[in-house]
A = this chain, B = another copy of it.
Amino acid sequence: MMSAEALEAALRAIGAERYHVHHPFHHLLHGGKLTKDQVRAWALNRYYYQASIPAKDASLLARLPTPDLRREWRRRLVDHDGDGVHPGGVERWLALTDGLGLDRDYVTSLAGLLPATRFAVDAYVRFVREKSLLEAIASSLTEMFSPDIISQRVSGMLRNYDFVTAETLAYFTPRLTQAPQDVAFALAYVKEHADTAEKQQQVLAALRFKCDLLWSQLDALHFAYVEPGLPPPGAYRP
């Protein structure tokens, strides 16, 4: 069994190898190498991920045993669904798809979604619903790595695309403070509750699984819209 510090180091090593900040599609995106249609395809598909986050958080919340823990996790639902006055992350993501000129009904209908996006996102929601609470919480730890990818995305996209504004990228700004707050709790929980070698391995596998599903979403976008550029039947075509 590892020390808690060694477990954290092992988690960070997974991110260093597998987090989608290293994916070629991410480099194209923030490097200004994509067309507006390719950025649209990204935003359209990523909408399904954003829209599914509250479902996974609600099913995790439903299994937390104490008011303290539930309040902590409930904050994530507020962040994503809003409070009726301030828009949440899902609404802010739609501001991005609006800003890119995508029809909102088309986006929320999911009609143009890549099947691979649906399979990956659904796998995440089910993982959280079906695995142990410890594994479900551990799967959220990709947020340890998200401030870097967000700052690359925001600065790169603002610099490189004239069709992107600070307003359309408003999704990301609150995430820069929300994610570290989420991580502080989840990482402490995991370090405390992964108290056998077997549980530590489960935690590492959960983070690997989560990295894989983020990565495979970019694989599918890259395949369909960049190289070789073959969107499957029924998917969004620019």
Interface residues, chain A, with chain B CB atoms under 8 Å away = 17-18, 24, 114-116, 118-120, 122-123, 126, 208-209, 211-213, 215-216, 219-220, 222-224, 227-228, 230, 232-234
B18-A212 in contact (CB<8A): no
Q: Shortest distance in angstroms between A236's beta carbon and chain B's nearest beta carbon?
A: 14
A232-B216 in contact (CB<8A): yes
12 contacts between A and B (CB under 8 A): A18-B232, A115-B212, A115-B213, A116-B119, A116-B220, A119-B123, A119-B213, A119-B216, A126-B126, A212-B232, A222-B230, A227-B227
A233-B18 in contact (CB<8A): yes
Cα–Cα, bound, A115→B17 (Å): 15
| A233 contact set on B, CB distance < 8 A | 17-18, 211-212, 215
Cα–Cα, bound, A215→B224 (Å): 12
Q: Shortest distance in angstroms between A14's beta carbon and chain B's nearest beta carbon?
A: 9
Cα–Cα, bound, A208→B113 (Å): 13
Cα–Cα, bound, A126→B118 (Å): 13
Cα–Cα, bound, A126→B126 (Å): 10
Q: Shortest distance in angstroms between A230's beta carbon and chain B's nearest beta carbon?
A: 7
Which of B18, B209, B220 contacts A216 (CB under 8 A)? B220
**Quick one: which of A24, A115, A227 has the most chain B CB within 10 A?**
A115
Closest to A114 in B: B216
Cα–Cα, bound, A137→B164 (Å): 46
Cα–Cα, bound, A77→B234 (Å): 32
Which of B122, B208, B232 contacts A234 (CB under 8 A)? B208
| A118 contact set on B, CB distance < 8 A | 123
